[in-house]
Structure 1
Amino acid sequence: MNLDALTQRLHAIRDHNAWRGFHSPKNLAMAASVEMAELVEIFQWLSEEQSRQLDPDQLAHAGQEIGDVVLYLLLLCSELGIDMNQAVSAKLADSERRFGHA
């Protein structure tokens, strides 16, 4: 997954629709949160076992919501000047240091 290419495609959609004015960090963080809530809603009321065995429609819906969350986070990183690859790599290294790894 080339994050720079994805971000460029997102910017093209944003610019084509004149959405730049709405893409403040605050709004993008809130939009990502809303999409995350939509992902959580798929699992609401499911047992632990059911949550591991989604039917094809639920699985497709989960994939769509995950995509929405990631795309909003890419836009947020762009607005804030954060390199997502670097941020994720640094966080993973910190987790490995703190919690160990295999």
Structure 2
Amino acid sequence: MSDPDIATLQRRLVDFAEARQWAPYHTPKNLAMALTVEASELAEIFQWLTPEESVEVMSDPDKAFRVRDEVADVLAYLLQLASACGVDVLRALSEKIERNEVRFPTPPR
């Protein structure tokens, strides 16, 4: 299987929801709320770890699986929200990076 692109993933997520008749529930509000829940589940993995332990979390196969799974959930809801709102995620990110480069210039060395 080749690496999917953003549009393909978004289409698969829409198709998945439509096949299960979930589309009426996938409003921007509900998707934003679901995104925050999944982000919280990702944060929970790291909640009580020291900074050093957090860096090593991917060396534990069980924790690594949980991190990958929650990252996937966060990305899925983010892509669905972007699709529902008509946001081109790659363009939005590129524009945000450009604004941040102006807002936070490289300090002199």
Higher relative contact order (CA 8 A, sep 6+): 1
**Structure index of larger Rg:** 2
Indicate the TM-score class for this superposition, using the shorter chain for normalisation. Answer: over 0.9
Q: Which amino acid aligns with 2:43?
A: V
CA RMSD of aligned residues (A): 1.4
- Superposed, 1:17-96 pairs within 5 Å as 17-54=20-57, 55-96=60-101
TM-score (norm 2): 0.88
- Name structure 1 gaps, 5 residues minimum: none
Sequence identity (%): 43
Number of residue pairs the alignment of both structures matches? 102
- Name structure 2 gaps, 5 residues minimum: none
Structure 1 stretches (4+) deviating beyond 3 angstroms?
none
Tell me the distance in 2 between the aligned counterparts of 1:61 and 1:72. Answer: 17
Tell me the distance in 1 between the aligned counterparts of 2:96 and 2:38. Answer: 22
